[in-house]
Amino acid sequence: MGNKLSEADLIINQDGTIYHLNLLPEDLAHTVITVGDPDRVSEISKHFDRIELKKGKREFLTHTGYIGQKRITVISTGIGTDNIDIVFNELDALVNIDFETREVKKDLVSLDIIRVGTSGAIQSDLPMGTILASSFGLGLDALMKYYIHELSVDERPILEAFNSHSSHIKGIHPYLTAADPVLLERIGGEMVQGITVTAPGFYAPQGRQVRAKNAIPNFIELLNSFQHGKYRITNLEMETAGIYALAKALGHKALSVNAILASRVNFEFSKSPDKVVDKAIRTVLEKLS
């Protein structure tokens, strides 16, 4: 392509692995499951027929293996869209940049990326234990201020409606991206679906109050009262919008599957969170294999 990436822009370790993930290009399958918690990686890979690779660095733990003939990589991202920025750029580099020449490859690969994560529901009719597929990710974090992000004809009216709905709140500058329609139908077609809000924190940014005072009163009510046509906001978490937007910017397909562990409107938390997460894992793996 003629545009060589500098050693400061694309950092490759001395052993040929990408900087943070510590992976070689051949370590990565083209179907990737992301999880926040490193401990959840083994909860997924234990269902593999065989595991060919285990690597880890910092919070980024990776297992690659097979279910039947299907090769799958599971990788932990840690919490938040700042880590999504690292993971998704490095996943893309592994498949779309020639590490020898430091140039973008002529033929680009589009990864299938499925997040399996936990979340809290903000609608009273969504019980704990629900497995929910995010039809859209609505980001309240700052990640996509640093990337060119173009809205589709389906995304624009929803974002405009939310901006109008929240116009009285200063400092909210959201972005919105749809799930990949093929993955949404294939994996999430039988699941409850809704708009997932991605917050830049766990406490006040998700409407929780412990000791520090919240700047946005009635935050959950602001979110759960939003409706645009058939679309409503269903849940809160910390990665989905970044995953959707950055995947779209890089030409990958993404879907977020949420294990609902909390009801924010009923002030309840699941008594068996591990069972709910395992249900989400099994459902996704069945659809993939």
The number of angstroms, rounded, from the C-alpha of 18 to the middle of its chain's C-alpha atoms is: 20
Task: Tell me: pLDDT of 267 over 60.
Answer: yes
pLDDT tens, position by position, 54-90: 999 999 999 999 999 999 999 999 999 999 999 999 9
In a domain, 2, yes or no: no
pLDDT of residue 171: 82
In a domain, 1, yes or no: no
Whole-prediction pTM: 0.96
CATH number at residue 236: 3.40.50.1580
Q: Which domain holds residue 44?
A: 25-288
- Give percent above pLDDT 90 in the chain: 94
Count up the domains in the chain and report the number: 1
pLDDT of residue 3: 82
Helix 240-250 / helix 81-96 crossing angle, nearest 10 deg: 30
pLDDT tens, position by position, 226-253: 999 999 999 999 999 999 999 999 999 9
In a domain, 244, yes or no: yes
Question: Measured between alpha carbons, how far is 68 from 152 in angstroms, rounded to an integer?
Answer: 37
In a domain, 8, yes or no: no
pLDDT of residue 125: 94
The angle at the Cα of 188, spanning 187 to 192, to the nearest 5 degrees, equals 160
Nearest to 88 by CA among 69, 75, 104, 100: 75
In a domain, 176, yes or no: yes
pLDDT of residue 2: 61
pLDDT of residue 100: 94
Tell me whether residue 268 is exposed, middle or buried, using C-beta atoms within 10 angstroms of its C-beta: 0 to 12, 13 to 18, 19 or more: middle
pLDDT tens, position by position, 155-177: 999 999 999 999 988 888 999 99
Task: Tell me: pLDDT of 1 over 50.
Answer: no
Arithmetic mean of pLDDT over the chain: 95
In a domain, 15, yes or no: no
| Structure-derived torsion over alpha carbons of residues 223, 224, 226, 230, reported in degrees to the nearest 10 | 130
pLDDT of residue 170: 85
pLDDT tens, position by position, 171-227: 889 999 999 999 999 999 999 999 999 999 999 999 999 999 999 989 999 999 999
Q: Which two tokens stand for residue 211?
A: 């000791």
φ/ψ (deg, to 5) at 270: -60, 140
In a domain, 165, yes or no: yes
pLDDT of residue 101: 95
In a domain, 232, yes or no: yes
3-state secondary structure of 124: coil
pLDDT of residue 23: 98
